Structure 1
Amino acid sequence: MRYMLLIYNDEAAMANTPRDKVEQTLAAYGAYTEALKKSGAYLAGERLRPTQAATSIRLANGKTNVLDGPYADTKEQLAGFYMIEATDIDTAMEWGARCPAASTGTVEVRPIWEMTDYLS
C-alpha cells in the first residue's frame, strides 16, 4: 500500500536557523532518503517552496477566488512529502518516526486512497 508522509515545519523558525544547523538537517534528510531508497520503500519525495510562493484556489457561488500565499495562518506549514510503499500502517509509521521532521515538526502519515479502490 502507498502512504504519504507529509512533513510540517515552522517556516519562520527554519528561516532563522544558523547555516551549519541547516546543513546538518539537509544531511539528515539525505541519509533518510537514501535509507528509504535502499529499503525499496521510496516512491517519490520533494521539498516544497515556502507558503509565500503558494496560491490557494476556491470556488464559491460559481466564482473562482484566488488567494496568493498561504490560505490559513498556522504554526506549522506543509514543507514537503515522501510517498512510500509499506506493507501496513505500522511500517509506514515507523518510517514517519525516522523522518528528521518528526523531531522538529510533525510528520503526518496518511494512506493513499487508490482510485482503483473507489472505482471498483
Structure 2
Amino acid sequence: MKYALLIYGKESDWANASPDEMTAIFAEHGRLSDALGERNLAGEELDLTTTATTVRTTNGQSIVTDGPFAETVEHLGGFYLIEAADLDEALGFARMLSGTVEVRPVVNHCGTP
C-alpha cells in the first residue's frame, strides 16, 4: 500500500539551524532513504511558503493568491511517497524523522497495487 509521509515544521527553525543541526537532519533523511530502499517511490523538499501560490476554484471561478492555503505555525516542508505493508510499517518509517510527520494512505483509484 502507498503512503504519503508529509513533513511539517517551522520554517524559522530551518532557517536558523546551525550547520551541525542541518547535518543531523540530513543524516536522518539519509537513514530513512536507506531503510526504504526501493520502497521510496518519490520525495522532495518543498521551497519556502513565501514562494507558494494558492488557487481556490468554486463554481468555475478561480481566485489566485500568494502564499500557502492556511496560516499556521508549521508548514508542509517536504514529503515522501512510500510503499509499506501496512500503517504500522509506515508509522515506523515516519518515526525515523524528528518533528511532525503526517502519515496518510494514498487512495488507489486504478485498482492496481
TM-score by length of 2: 0.88
Which residue of structure 2 lines up, in the alignment, with residue 34 of structure 1? 34
* Pairwise CA distance, 1:61: 4.9
- Determine whether 1:43 maps to 2:54: no
Aligned letter for 1:107? V
**Which aligned runs of 4 or more in structure 1 are off by greater than 4 angstroms?**
none
Mapping 1:1-120, distance limit 5 Å: 1-37=1-37, 40-98=38-96, 100=97, 103=98, 105-117=99-111
Aligned letter for 2:22? V
| Distance across 2 between alignment mates of 1:79 and 1:36 | 20
| Distance across 1 between alignment mates of 2:19 and 2:32 | 20
TM-superposition CA deviations, 1:76-99 (whole Å, max 9, x none): 10011111111111111111111x
Structure 2: runs of 5 or more not aligned: none
Percent identity among equivalent residues? Answer: 45
Higher deviation after alignment, 82-91 or 56-65: 56-65
| Distance across 2 between alignment mates of 1:71 and 1:111 | 21
| Distance across 2 between alignment mates of 1:32 and 1:86 | 13
Higher helix share: 1
Question: For the aligned residues, what is the CA RMSD?
Answer: 1.4
| Distance across 1 between alignment mates of 2:94 and 2:28 | 14
Aligned letter for 1:24? A
